[in-house]
Amino acid sequence: MSDALQSSASWLAARTARHDLRSRWFGAGRTVMAAAQLSVLLLTPVKALLIPVVSMGEYPRCDGVRAASALCIGNDAVGTEPRRWLLIVVFAVVASGYQPRWTAIPHAWATYSVAVSIAVPDGGESIGMIMALLMTPIALADDRTWHWQTPTTEPRQSWQAVTLAAFLAIRVQVAYLYLDSAISKFGVADWANGTAEYYFLRDNMFGVARPWDSLFLSMSKSSLVVVALTWGALIIELAIGVCVLASDRWRKAALAMDIVLHGSIILTMGLWSFATVMIGSAIVCATPERKPSPPLTTPAMTEPLVTTA
């Protein structure tokens, strides 16, 4: 038993020592998620985001922990537009990739503010908040000026175990989202019998819109196509959930499937911000770990000096 524990500890130590997530992949995922929420704030009137909801009252709700939201700053003394523009600036800076270490906490705060304060979330806000919180340790360990740059320093050992744990937590969270989504659908009759997509395409709120409505509505008249679309979505969700827990190559396969799945959702149902947040999350999961280069050695360090008479 002690030999097994020692072997596991040695493997974990070696695994941690070569762990480094400072790459353009991580930066791209972070940018895509910030851009998704930036688009919501830029393209949606603030009155529509904070519209009163029956039985829920006025928005933004600033009771309890929600008072920490940026949309609650200053209470009635500050208007909603200045608060909205504060969030826009934060998301824009994060999306640009500038100083990930210094924008990590503002990013988490901004995503929290959107998730708990707007009246009509589409699901992407909550996922964006969870992802931003889990990415915070990784971003805090990132000393690059821009997250598009190649690192010029070796990672700090004190941060490597923390960022590795955060990266594993991100992948487990994304895997859970997809596996839970797929498995729970099997308990719904329309998904189990393969007809769900037929009804989704014709839904008054989320149904397919122009210019694709004629094409998809015509295709959905075929029972074979409807079953393929419905069960195909379930199979892809299951595959993504498994692949994000696997090696670099399989995580990239999960990203490709994620783009296909959510690209199709954008084409048929819209839900741009939700789909984009999920694609950004898959990009982060697909981040290949940069192998830190070994320290340079010189002949004088590896070979004894030889003198000749």
Digitized pLDDT (tens) for each residue of the chain, 309 residues in all: 666 666 555 555 556 666 788 899 999 999 999 999 999 999 888 778 887 776 666 778 788 888 899 988 877 777 788 889 999 999 999 999 999 999 999 999 999 999 988 877 667 889 999 999 999 999 999 999 999 998 888 888 778 889 999 999 999 999 999 999 999 998 999 999 998 988 888 887 777 877 777 888 888 888 898 999 999 999 999 999 999 999 989 999 999 999 999 998 888 877 788 999 999 999 999 998 766 555 444 444 444 444 444
Residues 121 and 176 in one domain: no
Task: Tell me which residue of 95, 127, 129 sits closest to 110, measured CA to CA.
Answer: 129
Residues 142 and 186 in one domain: no
Residues 42 and 137 in one domain: yes
State which residues form the domain around 46.
Answer: 18-151
The pLDDT value recorded for residue 305 is 42
Q: What is the pTM of this model?
A: 0.86
The pLDDT value recorded for residue 175 is 97
Residues 120 and 234 in one domain: no
- The answer to the question of residue 30 being in a domain is yes
The pLDDT value recorded for residue 213 is 78
Residues 27 and 140 in one domain: yes
- The answer to the question of residue 267 being in a domain is yes
The pLDDT value recorded for residue 297 is 43
Half-sphere exposure of 125 (CA within 13 A, CB side): 19
The pLDDT value recorded for residue 102 is 96
- The answer to the question of residue 309 being in a domain is no
The pLDDT value recorded for residue 158 is 78
User: What is the C-alpha to C-alpha distance for residues 71 and 84, in angstroms, rounded to an integer?
Assistant: 7
- The answer to the question of residue 181 being in a domain is yes
Residues 101 and 25 in one domain: yes
Residues 177 and 147 in one domain: no
Residues 61 and 141 in one domain: yes
The pLDDT value recorded for residue 301 is 43
- The answer to the question of residue 1 being in a domain is no
Q: Give Cα separations from 140 to 22, 24, 104, 229 (angstroms).
A: 11, 16, 6, 41
DSSP, residue by residue, the chain: -HHHHHHHHHHHHHHHHT----SHHHHHHHHHHHHHHHHHHHHS-HHHHT--BTTTBSSS--SGGGGGSGGGTTGGGS-HHHHHHHHHHHHHHHHHTB-HHHHHHHHHHHHHHHHHH-SS--SHHHHHHHHHHHHHHHHHT---SBTTSPP-SPPPHHHHHHHHHHHHHHHHHHHHHHHHHHHHHTTSHHHHTT-HHHHHHT-TTTS--TTSHHHHHHHTTSHHHHHHHHHHHHHHHHHHHHHTTS-HHHHHHHHHHHHHHHHHHHHHH--HHHHHHHHHHHHHHTPPPP-PPPPP--HHHHS------
The pLDDT value recorded for residue 12 is 56
- The answer to the question of residue 255 being in a domain is yes
The angle formed by the CA atoms of residues 233, 235 and 239, to the nearest 5 degrees, is 115
- The answer to the question of residue 61 being in a domain is yes
Residues 143 and 178 in one domain: no
User: What is the C-alpha to C-alpha distance for residues 217 and 203, in angstroms, rounded to an integer?
Assistant: 11
The pLDDT value recorded for residue 118 is 82
The pLDDT value recorded for residue 18 is 64
- The answer to the question of residue 262 being in a domain is yes
The pLDDT value recorded for residue 91 is 97
Residues 183 and 273 in one domain: yes
Residues 188 and 136 in one domain: no
Count of the separate structural domains present in the chain:
2
